[in-house]
Amino acid sequence: MKAFVFPGQGAQFIGMGKELYEQNETAKRLFEQANDILGFRITDIMFEGTAEELKQTRVTQPAVFLHSVITALCMDDFAPDMVGGHSLGEFSALVAAGALQFEDGLRLVYARAQAMQKACEAAPGGMAAVLALPDETIEKICAEVSAEGNGVVVPANYNCPGQLVISGNVDAVGRACEQLKAAGAKRALPLPVGGAFHSPLMQPAKDELQAAIEKTEFATPRCPIYQNVDGQAHTEAADIKKNLIAQLTASVRWTQEVRNMVAAGATEFVECGPGKALQGMIAKIDNSVTVQGV
């Protein structure tokens, strides 16, 4: 069985989607439709902009979404048995699986990006990657640092065994990193991101996005979608909506999600979108499956 997976923020690069735009009429039409919906030419930034322009959350998220979704929609043999996406990538997965219309997915992603940008500016936060330490140890130290009362820090992304990203107030993340290194972490490295994604600091963004999601029509996907908040397969529109709303402040349980896909019969994983980050994670989660990009 084949699982298609979609990357999140951080996979972007200048030139992404340009070849697809130039060589495929369907892709060109969808990219131009996206320019009209967004009200600015995101393709100009994607194809020929600067890295600084592209890394703005309000640009990055729709750019990664567009590259991922249009790649899938232009494939002759896109026939997933299941889909999943890492954080932002869950929106790409929903469109690719037919649970969301392309236009609605893009509008939601842009609303999400703008809401998250505002939340980052209102409550500056940070994230850090922790390597080679048991999840339980990281969870315990985050809880202890948060209990001190000077900011919050939580596990944000369970990427693969030995790699967990934490998120929260800048000072709390810094204190947690010191304690994690003292506890034996190989690295506890601050990430170059503009906010504390998948933490309680995203609550204002969650509230804003919830209103947009509740107004949007979702259909039953053509195959199960595995969602970040619980790592489980879902096909009911109401459940998918609820999980998508919860995702902004909840942990991304990617390791559990991939393991559940394998348990359901997935033997081949295809990363659809920019970068190769998910391929590396999946190989570390289960080296018995095949992984490839598009």
Catalytic residue among 67, 68, 86, 198: 198
Closest by Cα among 81, 85, 17, 62 to 282 = 85
Token pair of 205 as six digits: 């963004």
CA distances, 14 to each of 39, 43, 94, 175 (Å): 20, 10, 25, 34
Strands 187-190 and 163-169, sheet pairing: unpaired
Query: b or e along 43-70 (b: 16 or more beta carbons within 10 Å of the residue's beta carbon)?
Result: bebbbebeeeebbebbbbbbbbbbbbbb
Neighbours of 147 (CB within 10 A): 8
User: Which one of the listed residues 87, 167, 199, 251 is annotated catalytic?
Assistant: 87
For residue 67, indicate whether it is catalytic: no
User: Quick check: 91 and 85 in contact, CB under 8 A?
Assistant: yes
Separation CA 10–CA 7 (nearest Å): 8
199 catalytic? Reply is no
Give the DSSP letter string of 10-74. T---TTTTHHHHHH-HHHHHHHHHHHHHHTS-HHHHHHH--HHHHTSHHHHHHHHHHHHHHHHHT
Q: Show which residues are catalytic.
A: 87, 198
